[in-house]
Amino acid sequence: MTASKSSRARNARAQAGAARSGSAGGSRGGTAARTGTAVKTGAVTKTGPATKTGPAVRNAAQGTASRKGTARAEGQLKAQAVRPPAAPGGSLLAKVRTQLASVMSPGESAVPMWLRLTTFLAALAGLGVSIYLTIAHFTEATLAGCSETAGLVDCTKVTTSAQSYVFGIPVAVLGLAFYLFMVAIMSPWAWRATRREIHLARIAALIAGMGFVLYLLYAELFIIGSICLYCTSVHALTFILFVLTMVAAATWGLGRARSSA
């Protein structure tokens, strides 16, 4: 019995020791298992590279923006399709306005080039004749090609008459001053001016010139009784300039007034 008790005691101690060892081993294994799980979980949760989804997010944002832009473009196309077409009269009026704006733009003139050149050349011709008459007046030279008979044409009689002076100034000098101004005001650059004052000055000068021409014609025909061919050519050139200028003013206006802005 004693041996049996001793054996039972040894068995009990052995079982207790085995139990303790198993508990210790189990606890160690559980801790290791838990630790391994934690380690594994930490490895999995360390998803920094995986969560760096910047390109994916940008691609998604770009896709969203492109879809929004497409939707906006479709909306604009629908609005244009719903919008009623412009009336034919409106488009024609817009074209006319555009053409007028281009014609009357700064540095341009509505007056055609042929009229500008014609008036400029006529003014140059008048200036040339006026210079010749002024030289002949002060040198008392005989005008070339002009007869000195008792007939209707007698240049010397006209240029030496009392009516060849106005307020003590020779008519030839007045004609020279007039045509110096005409050459300047009839130049293509003056025609392109947008200030109304320049065009009004041109018209005012020609009205005064035509009034003087009518006086000289009356003096030649009814007071002197003779005419001068050179004087008559100047009168004719003045009349041509007057008519062309009035036609230009009536047809194309007096240029464009300066903007108040």
In the 8-state DSSP scheme, what is residue 3? H
185 or 9: whose pLDDT is higher?
185
Which of these, 243, 115, 122, lies nearest to 188 by C-alpha position? 115
Chain centroid to CA 163: 54
- What is the pLDDT averaged over residues 202-220? 96
Chain centroid to CA 50: 59
- What is the pLDDT averaged over residues 66-86? 61
**Is residue 242 scored above 60 in pLDDT?**
yes
Inter-residue contact 241 to 206 (CB < 8 Å): yes
Q: What is the pLDDT of residue 207?
A: 97
Question: Of the ranges 89-93, 101-105, 170-174, which one carries the lowest mean pLDDT score?
Answer: 101-105
**CATH assignment of 113-252, among 1.20.1440.130, 3.40.50.2000, 1.10.3720.10, 3.40.50.2300:** 1.20.1440.130
pTM over 0.85: no
Question: Of the ranges 151-155, 215-219, 242-246, which one carries the lowest mean pLDDT score?
Answer: 151-155
Q: What is the pLDDT of residue 106?
A: 41
Chain centroid to CA 30: 88
In the 8-state DSSP scheme, what is residue 193? -
Banded model confidence at residue 75, pLDDT cuts 50, 70, 90: low
For the chain, domain boundaries: 113-252
